[in-house]
């Protein structure tokens, strides 16, 4: 472990395994969030799970911030690989639902070939919008002064956090939100803001944040202060949850180590999301199994949550090894070269 770390957490093309481990932990948090909101604590019914879920809910923001810190270097080959992975798991999930579960018809099976345009995965639809817009965003960032870059980030932040009005679960699931978080991550990386914050102050902030969230979680849904808690500490465009995400990313960024196993597993982070959260099979992946374990075992619901998260993570990583094997046989660089020739790019 070394300190201070290189900006972006990357040396000689090697990703900082601490950041990769954070990505994996965040994906496990997303699984936990889905189990809690769909089974264990509907509509914030359980204050203990409200507290846990609020912590898990920061995961999406962390993912986009990490994207901003590393920066998007748009390539046709990368875009093709990403799009094909989304389609691959959309068709695989629909195939399971159609042939094995008999829960959908032929029409739904055919529509599974178009997951992005149909927003089967809201995160990927928003992320691909950001990816396509990244050349324009990067152009502005690279040619702006520090003052102008900060000004642009503030304007996007005001639009995202103050002016945007969405419901509890969809506030922030748009290009404006992702562009702001991306610019915030680029700002943190470009001007070395992360190495200027001490671990002690960051840990103190995280501790205070958790204490505040714990208090609000038990304030009760009928309490007026609970609505403010949801707005600032739970919604994706809340100022509190964004500050928490910045602190978490910065803490992990302070530590650098390299582990090939962690980096290899982290390659399947997207697959974990695409498999477990496909609406055609999610009911059978975590809803029904959780309900079954709750009704047939003596295990506490918290341990059931932990077991479900671990099992889904391991299973999805193993499933993704087959996809990785097939994708190695596809020459995306060749496809990119052909595409450039066709469009004279």
Could you report the per-residue pLDDT of 21-62, keeping only the tens digit for each? Answer: 999 999 999 999 999 999 999 999 999 999 999 999 999 999
Query: pLDDT per position in the chain (345 positions), as tens?
Result: 333 344 444 544 578 999 999 999 999 999 999 999 999 999 999 999 999 999 999 999 999 999 999 999 999 999 999 999 999 999 999 999 999 999 999 999 999 999 988 889 999 999 999 999 999 999 999 999 999 999 999 999 998 988 876 666 566 678 889 999 999 999 999 998 888 788 999 999 999 999 999 999 998 777 788 988 998 999 999 999 999 999 999 999 999 999 999 999 999 999 999 999 999 999 999 999 999 999 999 999 999 999 999 999 999 999 999 999 999 888 888 777 877 776 665
The pair phi, psi for residue 278, each rounded to 5°, is -70, 125
Residue with tokens 């974990």: 272
Coil, helix or strand for 256?
A: strand
Name the nearest CA neighbour of 17 among 233, 326, 267.
267
How far is residue 3's CA from residue 262's CA, in Å, rounded to a whole number? 20
Q: What is the CA radius of gyration of the chain?
A: 21
DSSP character string of 61-74: HHHHHHHHHH----
Peptide bond into 4 cis (omega under 30): yes
Question: Could you tell me the CA-to-CA distances from 131 to 62, 246, 292, 337 in Å, in that order?
Answer: 17, 21, 40, 19
Q: E strands, the chain, where?
A: 10-11, 14-15
* 236-287: pLDDT as tens digits: 999 999 999 999 999 999 999 999 999 999 999 999 999 999 999 999 999 9
Coil, helix or strand for 16?
A: coil
DSSP character string of 130-174: HHHHHHHHHHHHHTS-HHHHHHHHHHHHHIIIII----TTTTT-S
């Amino acid at each position: 472990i070394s300190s201070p770390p290189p900006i972006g957490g990357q040396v000689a093309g090697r990703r900082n395994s601490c950041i990769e481990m954070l990505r994996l932990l965040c994906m496990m948090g997303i699984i936990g969030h889905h189990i809690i909101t769909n089974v264990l604590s509907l509509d914030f019914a359980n204050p203990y799970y409200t507290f846990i879920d609020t912590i898990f809910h920061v995961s999406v923001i962390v993912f986009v911030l990490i994207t901003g810190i590393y920066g998007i270097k748009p390539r046709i080959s990368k875009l093709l690989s990403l799009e094909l992975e989304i389609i691959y798991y959309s068709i695989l999930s629909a195939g399971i639902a159609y042939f094995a579960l008999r829960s959908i018809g032929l029409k739904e099976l055919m529509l599974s070939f178009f997951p992005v345009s149909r927003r089967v995965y809201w995160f990927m639809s928003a992320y691909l919008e950001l990816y396509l817009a990244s050349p324009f965003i990067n152009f502005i960032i690279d040619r702006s002064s520090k003052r102008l870059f900060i000004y642009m980030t503030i304007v996007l932040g005001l639009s995202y956090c103050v002016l945007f009005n969405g419901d509890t679960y969809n506030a922030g699931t748009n290009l404006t939100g992702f562009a702001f978080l991306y610019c915030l991550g680029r700002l943190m990386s470009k001007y070395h803001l992360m190495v200027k914050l001490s671990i002690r102050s960051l840990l103190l902030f995280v501790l205070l944040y958790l204490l505040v969230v714990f208090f609000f979680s038990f304030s009760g849904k009928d309490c007026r202060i609970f609505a403010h808690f949801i707005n600032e500490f739970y919604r994706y465009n809340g100022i509190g949850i964004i500050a928490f995400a910045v602190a978490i990313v910065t803490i992990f960024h302070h530590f650098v180590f390299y582990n090939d196993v962690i980096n290899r597993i982290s390659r399947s982070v997207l697959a974990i999301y695409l498999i477990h959260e496909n609406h055609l099979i999610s009911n059978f992946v975590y809803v029904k199994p959780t309900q079954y374990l709750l009704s047939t075992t003596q295990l506490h619901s918290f341990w059931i949550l932990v077991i479900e998260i671990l099992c889904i993570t391991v299973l999805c990583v193993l499933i993704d090894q087959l996809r990785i094997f097939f994708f190695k046989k596809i020459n995306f660089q060749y496809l990119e070269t052909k595409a450039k020739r066709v469009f004279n790019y």
